[in-house]
Amino acid sequence: MQLQQGIPSVCEVKYISPQKGRGLFLATPRNIVKGEVIYTERPFVAVQHVRNRSEAWTCGYCFRFLGNLNDQTNKLCQHLKLPHPKNLPPHPKFNFAPTQVFECFSMCGECYCSEACRTQAWNLHHQFLCVGQITSASHPLFRFKTHSIESNELFLLAAQVLACMISRHIASNGKESLLEIRTLLLNSFVHRPIWEVLGPECGLTLDELKNMVIQSLELLQQTFQAIFPNTVYFQDLLNPDFYSILLGMLELNDNAIGFDSPLEFYLREIEPISPAEKKQAEEILTPIIQKLEDIQNEDDEEWEDVDDNEELGDEGEDEDEEIETPDKVIPRIPNFEGFGSFPTTAMMNHSCVPNCIVNFNGDFNAVITALRDIQPGEELLHSYIEESDPIKRRREELKVYGFVCDCIKCSSGS
């Protein structure tokens, strides 16, 4: 459980006000220039979205894409039920460092890019959350994961946190109590019970939300009861009060993790290869892209009626208000999609005019980069939402965080 990595030396935490609480400030002796990396941070917990797992074959710990380019095309063709492809021709400029592939110790299907990642994941949480030796669909862990996939993937992240806390307690031989670990966790993040975080926009009544949370907790209790008959885990961790706070904390502090597939980079840089090799590459990749587009079109048609209904009930937007979106390259090959919690980055406050951005470059490490020149002592700010959205939509999306943004952009009504 990576909670005590320490604040990077380039930053310092300062108390701002009762309304804003604390914030993260630049502590370098010089200016940080636009485009410069301020710091990088590893998440203390993170998961890949379940829907993304069949499209992006990545390490179960650090999220690096596994194997080589041909392994990736093979996995995609297998998922899309396409014929086994030929090998892609080598690329003179594109250099994707292939990885080895290590299967989970219990053969649950999870794979890792190195022995270090496999061991780290196992020691931190996977030893308690692995379904490799489970043969019955009625097992509480299997039912917990099914319930999480069908209701809310946040439960999967919460289970990972609980497993990490228990692992840390065991690794200390009991010297670090669960109460101490819980206090450290809650001091690291803003937190409120999940029912104070999620409003009616989540599509559930308060009773429905509470029932869903209790059902998830009961399945986790049954899972850990089978491993640890000791009730201390139930008293300190696996109880409704803490579980609701943990879920609220994760909802408030989770950060999306996303980055492109190496196959997408290969496609973008395909021009330098010879005409014959380019034709060979296109013969391999075009059926994959076409099948992915067909699936996306089917999904779009399926959701069209739902979107129309939502628009009919949307009173927050002006019909003639245009939404400006930045120019983005739409990937043709599915990228990695997941989410996680980053203790230092979670201390950064929001602004619709941010001075830094959180990006990911091929693994789970957050890379915080300056969007403009930043002076020593200046507060580091990033956007929790899409800052190009109209002000009404921005305010609506920020309600979950419990504040009204007072940045220059919002104060001017733009």
Longest dimension (CA), the chain: 67
pLDDT at site 3: 57
* DSSP H helices in 123-239: 127-129, 140-151, 154-171, 178-188, 194-197, 206-227, 232-236
pLDDT at site 18: 83
Pick the closest to residue 346 from 249, 275, 270 (CA basis). Answer: 249
Which residue ranges in the chain fall short of pLDDT 70? Answer: 1-5, 230-232, 300-330
pLDDT at site 329: 55
Please tell me the distance from the alpha carbon of residue 327 to that of residue 346, in angstroms, as a whole number: 27
Q: Please, what's the b/e burial string for 208-241 (b: 16 or more CB within 10 A of its CB; e: otherwise)?
A: ebbebbeebbbbbbebbeeeeeeeebeebbbeee
Give 238-253 pLDDT, tens digit per residue.
Answer: 999 999 999 999 999 9
pLDDT at site 301: 66
pLDDT at site 157: 97
291 by DSSP, 3-state: which?
helix
pLDDT at site 235: 80
104 close to 60: Cβ distance less than 8 angstroms: yes
Q: Which amino acid is it at 383?
A: S
Pick the closest to residue 185 from 251, 255, 252, 249 (CA basis). Answer: 249
pLDDT at site 145: 96
pLDDT at site 231: 65
Q: Name residue, tokens 């019955």.
A: 136
Global pTM value: 0.88
> CA angle 301-303-307, nearest 5°?
120
In DSSP terms, 32 is beta-bridged to 374
In DSSP terms, 338 is beta-bridged to 48, 257
What are the CB-based long-range contacts (under 8 Å, 24+) for 211-216?
Answer: 212/151, 212/152, 213/240, 213/243, 213/244, 213/247, 214/240, 215/147, 216/144, 216/147, 216/148, 216/151, 216/155, 216/158, 216/243
Give 14-37 pLDDT, tens digit per residue.
Answer: 998 887 888 999 999 999 999 999
Pick the closest to residue 285 from 126, 86, 114, 24 (CA basis). Answer: 86
Report percent pLDDT > 90 for the chain.
62
Please tell me the distance from the alpha carbon of residue 207 to that of residue 51, in angstroms, as a whole number: 27
pLDDT at site 324: 43
In DSSP terms, 350 is beta-bridged to 382
